[in-house]
Amino acid sequence: MKVHNFSAGPSILPKEVLQESAKSTLQLKNIGMSILEISHRSIDFLNIINEAKTLTKELLDIPNTHEVLFLQGGASLQFYMSALNFCGKHKCSGFLDTGIWAKKAINEAKKVSKTIKIGSSSDKNYSYIPKNISFNEDFDYIHLTSNNTIYGTQIHSFDFINKHIKTEKLICDMSSDIFSRRIDIKNFDLIYAGAQKNLGPAGTTLIIIKKDSLTNKEDRPTYLDYRTHINKESLFNTPPVFSIYVSLLTLRWINKNGGIINIEKKNIEKSNALYNEIDRNSLFFGLVEKDDRSIMNATFDLYDQNLKRKFEELCNKERISGINGHRTTGGFRASMYNALEKESVNKLIEVMQTLENKNKK
């Protein structure tokens, strides 16, 4: 029986990707070895990582000014690594504070330079994206988090920040919405994203970096210097071979299914259907401002908390998994990453309607 996986991450992957990757753990193609055994210097793996980079560039329309890397450490390492590499003459960086992940990035950057919040939505429990930003100092870079998995907010347009940027560089953590929609890559100096949402299993981190942005010539620890990985083409040390391979399979799946344009269309359809039900259903309400609702993570709750157990029981009966909200926010969260089918969203809507019908006053 099908499980409807709404987990926030590690998240659902396409079935065909899971099937192919499972076969590869026994034998990759017909080479007589598992994907877990092959050398990262072998022609087989070089073909894998080079195709993954090429597909990433094609799907996201990445200009030649930018380099694609597959590294390790997740977004958590990038909080510090990005600050270390982009801290320059001003020794000051600007952050848009939109939740826990932005706060973690701020805390790591503080170890490198002065940090200033150019805007924050903490006053309303991060239920919106702050648009009234303030540039009172010179910054080396501005840091954003494009999608906030915990709170369910998303930056739908970057125009409000781009119009303020003059000499500052722009960095964005896109861990939870990379490959879900079209993005104008040329506006960013650095994009980083953990794989475990729309790309593959945890273990690798996608880096998209503008090569001429690395103007800071200060000496840095070798591994924490982006120039090291650009020069070594992501092969400075043994890379996470399996995670990169599964990411390649996912990129092939995206490409085969109409690319980013079609993926974005489907994601909008799924999220619109669920948000329409949240707004229509007399038992539920959304937790964030409508204009800033994420197409990846819908957060909502029940007016009557006495119905929570009944709702969870209905979800369990229909094999709906991963629906509980984050421990810091409570309520419910439906993560609708690329591989989640509309069928699963419809099943959740059906359960919400069943609960309403059984509890009409």
Same domain for 228 and 91? Answer: yes
C-alpha span between 145 and 78 (Å, rounded): 12
Residue whose pair of structure tokens reads 């002065």 in the numeric block: 114
Query: 97, 101, 103, 266: which one is catalytic?
Result: 101
> Chain centroid to CA 318: how far?
27
Longest dimension (CA), the chain: 68
Same domain for 196 and 108? Answer: yes
Radius of gyration (C-alpha) of the chain in whole angstroms: 21
Q: Which of 76-90, 179-193, 210-224 is least confident?
A: 210-224
Active site residue 138: no
Query: 97, 103, 140, 173: which one is catalytic?
Result: 173
Same domain for 252 and 272? Answer: no
In this prediction, residue 245 has a pLDDT band, given cuts at 50, 70 and 90, of very high
State which of 225, 256, 287 marks the end of a domain: 256
Q: Specify whether the CB–CB gap between 26 and 34 falls below 8 A.
A: yes
Same domain for 236 and 290? Answer: no
Same domain for 58 and 110? Answer: yes
**Is there a domain that residue 3 lies in?**
no
The predicted structure's pLDDT at residue 1 = 67
Average pLDDT score over the chain: 95
> Whats the size of the chain, residue-wise?
361
CATH of the domain at 204: 3.40.640.10
**Is there a domain that residue 78 lies in?**
yes
CATH of the domain at 300: 3.90.1150.10
- Average pLDDT of span 335-342: 97
Helical packing angle, 308-317 and 342-358, nearest 10°: 140
**Is there a domain that residue 143 lies in?**
yes
Same domain for 309 and 199? Answer: no
**Does 11 score more than 80 pLDDT?**
yes
Active site residue 169: no
**Does 183 score more than 70 pLDDT?**
yes
% of residues, the chain, pLDDT over 70: 99
Which residues face 97 on adjacent strands? 120
State which of 219, 238, 256 marks the end of a domain: 256
Active site residue 101: yes
Same domain for 152 and 277? Answer: no
Tens-place pLDDT, residues 48-64: 999 999 999 999 999 99
**Is there a domain that residue 100 lies in?**
yes
Q: Specify whether the CB–CB gap between 204 and 240 falls below 8 A.
A: yes
Helix boundaries (H) for the chain: 15-26, 43-60, 74-86, 100-109, 159-162, 226-231, 241-256, 259-280, 308-317, 342-358
The whole model's pTM is what?
A: 0.96
**Is there a domain that residue 252 lies in?**
yes
Same domain for 316 and 346? Answer: yes
Residue whose pair of structure tokens reads 């690329």 in the numeric block: 338
For residue 234, which of 57, 79, 68 has the smallest C-alpha distance? 68
In this prediction, residue 135 has a pLDDT band, given cuts at 50, 70 and 90, of confident
In this prediction, residue 137 has a pLDDT band, given cuts at 50, 70 and 90, of confident
Same domain for 128 and 232? Answer: yes
**Is there a domain that residue 113 lies in?**
yes
Instruction: Give how many domains the chain has, as a whole number.
Output: 2
**Is there a domain that residue 314 lies in?**
yes
% of residues, the chain, pLDDT over 90: 90
Tens-place pLDDT, residues 294-323: 999 999 999 999 999 999 999 999 999 999
**Does 222 score more than 80 pLDDT?**
yes
The predicted structure's pLDDT at residue 45 = 96
Q: Count of CB atoms within 10 A of residue 143's CB?
A: 26
Query: 197, 210, 266, 270: which one is catalytic?
Result: 197
Residue whose pair of structure tokens reads 């593959």 in the numeric block: 200
Same domain for 119 and 240? Answer: yes
Same domain for 307 and 350? Answer: yes
Same domain for 189 and 298? Answer: no
Q: Which of 158-162, 172-176, 281-285, 289-293 is least confident?
A: 158-162
For residue 12, which of 328, 253, 208 has the smallest C-alpha distance? 253
| 186: phi then psi, degrees, rounded to nearest 5 | -60, -20
**Is there a domain that residue 352 lies in?**
yes
State which of 256, 273, 295 marks the end of a domain: 256
Residue 335: domain span = 259-358
